[in-house]
Chain A
Amino acid sequence: MTVADIVKELGLKVFSGEENLDGKVTGGYVSDLLSDVMGNAAEGMVWITLQTHRNVTAVASLKDLAAIILVKGLVPDDDMAGQAAMEGIPVLGTGMQAFDVAGKLHNLLNRE
């Protein structure tokens, strides 16, 4: 499953990284602690968070994550948006809570 498939299935907004929506998704990770993501998330995961700080995109790029999903209708800060665009990282958005979007993503990935 690619990031584009997830965007379509879950009806996500695409804030940045349109050019990299063909990345393959290997799993998901839910955390708002960036140090936790740095330590534990794996390449190709989709990261679900409410943090909109510019370090979010830096951590995602460092860990080669497939995409970031911002929950609860949150939008990237200007700094985050700028860096995400520069690095080509897909930053996605949803009005759903982390619990709901994680559950749906889990189902999608398990269906494969």
Chain B
Amino acid sequence: MNDYRADLHIHSVLSPCGDLEMSPRNIISHAVEKKIDILGITDHNSTRHGPLMRRLGREKGIFVLTGAEVTTREEVHCLAFFETDRQLKLFQEFLDDALIPFRNDPRRFGHQVVVDENDNILDEVENLLVYAIDRDIDQVEEMVHSLGGLFIPAHINRGMNSLISQLGFVPEGIKADALEISRHTGKKEFLGDNPYLSDFTFLQNSDAHFPDDIGRVHSLFRMNEASFSEIKMALAGEGGRRVVSP
């Protein structure tokens, strides 16, 4: 088995808060520089850069885990990942149905553009993507899992838009494939304050909005190869695969 460096929480230029330098092509080239093996693309409430990122990553030897960062009705940020374009498309339909119609003001929130492999703008999303969708956290979890995806509440230690800031504590029985902590804490420190979560698998990612932040923190996966099914097994600690750090 090998160890793979993974940074699974990255915002592209499609997220209003993502820097204009965060084109799929630029993200991949920075990830190569930082020696990242597995990259997660997680724009706010949108999966649209997933297929292009996966293709560009493959050309450079980087496995791209495609998904989105969903804002639930409780304003909890959760990462959702899918293996195939078909699953991504179905999840995108779920998001589009659930988005609250509110027009983006690019001057205030930033641009939300879809680009191609040469950074040409193909489309600009009009609906503001950062707001909560009209589905609660359990409905999002059920949809993600019914499509065979991975469900990972994001930066749960953060003081806003996190599972703990919005819901007080991690609900009993939540079906999370892992919990993400931000780069501002450590797993040991976090578990010291929250010992009831010790059975979960933890991830730590950069939540990069700027090229320099990519790979600033990463998680280490021990598994046979960089693939969706191996990542799933590593999160579940199956067959000797596991998340070595954080």
Q: Which residues of A contact B (CB under 8 A)?
A: 33-35, 37-38, 51-55, 58-59, 77, 79
Contacts and interface: CB of A to CB of B under 8 A. Distances in A.
Task: State the majority secondary structure of interface residues on A.
Answer: helix
Interface of B: 74, 136-138, 164-169, 171
A59 B169 CA distance: 9
A34 B171 contact: no
A8 B166 CA distance: 31
A55 B169 contact: yes
B164 A51 contact: no
A40 to B, nearest CB: 12
B136 A55 contact: no
A86 to B, nearest CB: 13
Contact of B138 (A35, A38, A58, A79): A79
A53 B139 CA distance: 11
Query: Which of A33, A52, A77 has the most CB atoms of chain B within a 10 A radius of its CB?
Result: A33
A59 B166 CA distance: 12
Contact of A53 (B164, B165, B171): B171
Contact of A54 (B165, B166, B171): B171
A34 B138 contact: no
A55 B138 contact: no
Contacts, number: 34
Contacts of B137: 53
Q: Which 6 A-B pairs have the closest CB atoms?
A: A34-B168, A55-B167, A38-B168, A35-B168, A34-B167, A59-B168
A102 to B, nearest CB: 20
Contacts of B166: 33-35
A33 B165 CA distance: 7
A25 B217 CA distance: 48
A74 B230 CA distance: 42
A37 B136 CA distance: 20
A37 B74 CA distance: 15
B74 A51 contact: yes
Given A77-B136, A79-B138, A55 B171 contact: yes
Contacts of B164: 35
A35 B171 contact: no
A52 to B, nearest CB: 8
B70 to A, nearest CB: 16
A58 B196 CA distance: 15
Nearest to B171: A55
A51 to B, nearest CB: 6
Contacts of A55: 167-169, 171
8 contacts: A33-B165, A34-B167, A34-B168, A35-B165, A53-B167, A54-B171, A58-B171, A77-B136
Contacts of A77: 136, 138
A52 B137 CA distance: 11
The interface centre, meaning the residue of A52, A55, A58, A77 with most chain B CB atoms within 10 A of its CB, is A55
Contacts of A37: 168
A18 to B, nearest CB: 25
Q: Which of A33, A34, A53, A54 has the most CB of B within 10 A?
A: A53
Contacts of A53: 74, 136-137, 167, 171
